[in-house]
Amino acid sequence: MPAKKSHAMLLGSVLLLASSPLMATPSASMLANTCAGCHGTGGNSVGPASPTIAGKSAEYLKDVMAQYKSGERHSTIMGRIAKGYSDEEIALIADYYAGKSFESNAAKQKLDTAKVEAGSKLYKKNCSKCHDENGSLADDDSGILAGQWLPYLQFTMEDFRGGRSEMTKKMKKKVDKLDDEQIEALLQFFASQE
Amino acid sequence: MQKLNRRDFIKVAGTTVAVSTLGFPHIATAASKKVVIVGGGTGGATCAKYIRMADDSIEVTLIEPNKNYYTCYLSNEVLGGARDIDSIKFGYDGLGKHGVKVVHDTVTAIDAAARKVSTKGGQSFSYDRCVVAPGISFSDNIAGYDKAAHEKMPHAWKAGDQTVILRKQLEAMDDGGTVLIAPPPNPFRCPPGPYERACQIANYLKTKKPKSKVLIVDAKDKFSKMKLFKQAFERHYPDHIEWVAAGDTGGGVKSVDAKAGTVQTGDGKTHKAAVYNIIPAQKAGAIAHTAGLADDSGWCPVDHRTFESTIHKGVHVIGDAAIQAPLPKSGYAANSEAKVTAAAIVDLVNGREPGEPSWVNTCYSIVAPKDGISVAMVYNLVDGKVAKVSGSGGLTSLDSPAGDRAREVQYAYSWFNNITHDAFGG
């Protein structure tokens, strides 16, 4: 249960704080508000490329930030920013945004209905086991793809396929079998979800 | 009236133990707490909104003379022709939706002892906390650069009319003309701005007036993102941008003759260009000086935990006007400072000790249509001062691939959309 885990993390960081009075940790909202300039107020990005981070599970957000920090996940700017935070601070930020709701950006972007349709079929066959409910479920700890900004999905997938970011073995097996057109269709499908 | 207890508390910082005392004089319990914000740029607008989002029992009045704000950031794309002036124009209806009372008037005095702000229109506003976010004003380091010269040789460093004047001059210029940009000495608003501007104008010239060029006559020998900009100059504009260091001209442009259409550099030489962009040295916005919030440097000293003035208690100064280094004078820093200040004010008016602050700066420069570069940094408070978190931040890599540079342009637009929505959106 991600929610329980994150509470445990929170408690852990409070205890740590108490035991080391020299380093004060900013509050969750203090830390999280600094993200809004690029990721939108409350984590809902108005686009066109910075992803919405609201509503994703804390586990997912912590994982991704750790990957940006280590360079396992390629980025232009996020790695540089992630390195500014301790694991405790990242946990606070993750919990904060996990508590917000993801607003779909589907209606705000131009999508190709034929591609969306093709993507829908590919989704069922290839992605639905891990990216539940059309990629809209935060609790599967695999992000929220439904209604995400398309350029972000495209950049991320380009990095996965180019070997600049690490995919899970399960995902790599599926992705490697799909061609450019199929991948684009899938991403359009995810972006189109209300 | 009920007197609140004076609260003494102990702050532990490093190995020293400091005891500070905060007083909360004359806070009426019946009436709601009042915050007056002077200036409706990125800092002022963000602060107003975030105070209301955190505690909507606080009455927030934002006083700003103009009906619309034009962002300095991305105004260089207006100069280059990639976007329209209206795309960088923002009104205050969004703040109204958050319950911010917006008053269009000019603040003429801030009485920190009486906790009162007065305006040109004869209005007066009492406050528990005042936030001053006046941006910049110009120093007179360039002889002859008077009001009339501003029209003929625009600075375009406060976006709006000035941006439009400069754009029109660029459009009217004959092919083969030189555009002379004179960047200011440090410190100034938007450190990479003059060099991004050179790129944006050169991009326009390269495509529309290829025999023309941009000549940057700098008041400095080095500048923000310098290696990345020099790479951009060579990569995209080898025939269209020339940068001249201060050391080669005796310190850059020292005087202008707007009537003759010439400028003089520190080495005594006279230069003639077709279009000028003269950006003078800067200091805090006018009201900061009138209200006695600035020191001899021309900027406003503040306690970095709360951005409260160290000169006048109860008044906070944020954005470009504050002495915030190592935070830069950027839009993102102003947005970040505004949130730290909003949180501190919400704590202070509710009788709590302000919490630990945290800031971020991210700043993009679009040097060509598909080439964006950035600088980022995370900051925290160390021994009462803003400090860079070691290991964080830094610049776009000089050898980052073309695909990443193109992404940075998309992220720059996302930055713009999100920060303006964060500051002005309903």
Q: pLDDT per residue over B343-358, tens digit each? A: 999 999 999 999 999 9
Q: Would you say B408 and B372 are in contact if contact means Cβ atoms under 8 Å apart?
A: yes
Distances (CA, A) of B415 to A30, A54, B73, B249, B315: 19, 16, 10, 37, 29
**Residue-wise pLDDT tens digits, B322-345:** 999 999 999 999 999 999 999 999
Task: For residue A4, give the amino acid letter.
Answer: K
Query: How many contacts, defined by CB atoms under 8 Å, are there between A and B?
Result: 125
State how far the Cα of B410 lies from the Cα of A159, in Å rounded to an integer.
16
Chain A residues within an 8 Å CB radius of B42: none
Chain B residues within an 8 Å CB radius of A151: 410
Q: How buried is B301 (Cβ within 10 angstroms: 0-12 exposed, 13-18 middle, 19+ buried)?
A: middle
Residues 6+ apart with CB under 8 A from B173: B179, B209, B212, B274, B275
| Run of H or E residues at A160 | helix A150-161
Q: Report chain B residues touching chain A, CB-CB < 8 A.
A: 12, 14, 50, 54, 332, 335-336, 339-340, 343, 355-360, 362, 374, 376-378, 380, 389, 391-394, 396, 400, 403-404, 407-408, 410-411, 413-415, 417-419, 421-422, 425
What is the ipTM score, two decimals? 0.91
* CB of A25 less than 8 A from some CB of B: yes
pTM of the model: 0.92
Distances (CA, A) of B390 to A43, A103, B7, B162: 26, 35, 34, 39
Task: For residue A88, give the amino acid letter.
Answer: E
Question: If you count DSSP H runs as helices and E runs as strands, how many of each does chain B have, helices first?
Answer: 10, 27
Q: What sign for the dihedral angle of Cα A34, A37, A40, A45?
A: negative
Q: What sign for the dihedral angle of Cα A90, B386, B90, B315?
A: positive
Secondary structure class of B185 (helix, strand, coil): coil
B357 phi and psi, to 5 degrees?
A: -85, 165
Q: What is the length of chain B?
A: 426
Contact B415 A46 (CB under 8 A): no
Contact B413 A25 (CB under 8 A): no
Contact A48 B413 (CB under 8 A): yes
Of B355, B374, B414, the CB nearest to A47: B414
Contact B360 A81 (CB under 8 A): yes
Chain A residues within an 8 Å CB radius of B413: 48-49
Q: What is the pLDDT along chain A (194 residues), one digit of tens a residue?
A: 444 444 545 544 444 444 444 568 999 999 999 999 999 999 999 999 999 999 999 999 999 999 999 999 999 999 999 999 999 999 999 999 999 999 999 999 999 999 999 999 999 999 999 999 999 999 999 999 999 999 999 999 999 999 999 999 999 999 999 999 999 999 999 999 99
Q: What sign for the dihedral angle of Cα B52, B55, B59, B63?
A: negative
Q: What is the pLDDT along chain B (426 residues), one digit of tens a residue?
A: 344 333 333 333 333 333 344 444 444 444 789 999 999 999 999 999 999 999 999 999 999 999 999 999 999 999 999 999 999 999 999 999 999 999 999 999 999 999 999 999 999 999 999 999 999 999 999 999 999 999 999 999 999 999 999 999 999 999 999 999 999 999 999 999 999 999 999 999 999 999 999 999 999 999 999 999 999 999 999 999 999 999 999 999 999 999 999 999 999 999 999 999 999 999 999 999 999 999 999 999 999 999 999 999 999 999 999 999 999 999 999 999 999 999 999 999 999 999 999 999 999 999 999 999 999 999 999 999 999 999 999 999 999 999 999 999 999 999 999 999 999 999
Residues 6+ apart with CB under 8 A from B99: B52, B56, B60
Contact A84 B414 (CB under 8 A): no
B296 phi and psi, to 5 degrees?
A: -60, -20
Contact B377 A76 (CB under 8 A): no
Of B355, B362, B418, the CB nearest to A30: B355
State how far the Cα of B77 lies from the Cα of B75, in Å rounded to an integer.
5
* CB of A37 less than 8 A from some CB of B: yes
* Shortest alpha-carbon distance between residue A129 and chain B (Å): 30
* CB of A33 less than 8 A from some CB of B: yes
Residue found by looking up tokens 């025999």 in the block: B211
Chain A residues within an 8 Å CB radius of B404: 76
Contact B14 A22 (CB under 8 A): yes
Nearest CA in chain B to A48: B414
Contact B411 A41 (CB under 8 A): no
Question: If you count DSSP H runs as helices and E runs as strands, how many of each does chain A have, helices first?
Answer: 11, 0
State how far the Cα of A12 lies from the Cα of A89, in Å rounded to an integer.
12
Residues 6+ apart with CB under 8 A from B40: B48, B62, B63, B64, B66, B69, B92, B95, B102, B133
Q: Would you say B93 and B40 are in contact if contact means Cβ atoms under 8 Å apart?
A: no
Determine the pLDDT at residue A125: 95
Q: How far is Cα of residue A128 from the mean position of the Cα atoms in its chain?
A: 17
Chain B residues within an 8 Å CB radius of A41: 418, 421-422, 425
Residue found by looking up tokens 């500048």 in the block: B223
DSSP letter assigned to residue A35: T
Long-range pairs, A66-69, Cβ under 8 A, ≥24: A66/A90, A67/A165, A67/A166
Contact B362 A77 (CB under 8 A): yes
Kindly provide the residue ranges of all beta strands, DSSP E only, lying in B14-58, ordered along the sequence. 16-22, 34-38
Chain A residues within an 8 Å CB radius of B359: 34
Of B12, B355, B417, the CB nearest to A26: B355
State how far the Cα of B73 lies from the Cα of B70, in Å rounded to an integer.
9
Contact A22 B393 (CB under 8 A): no
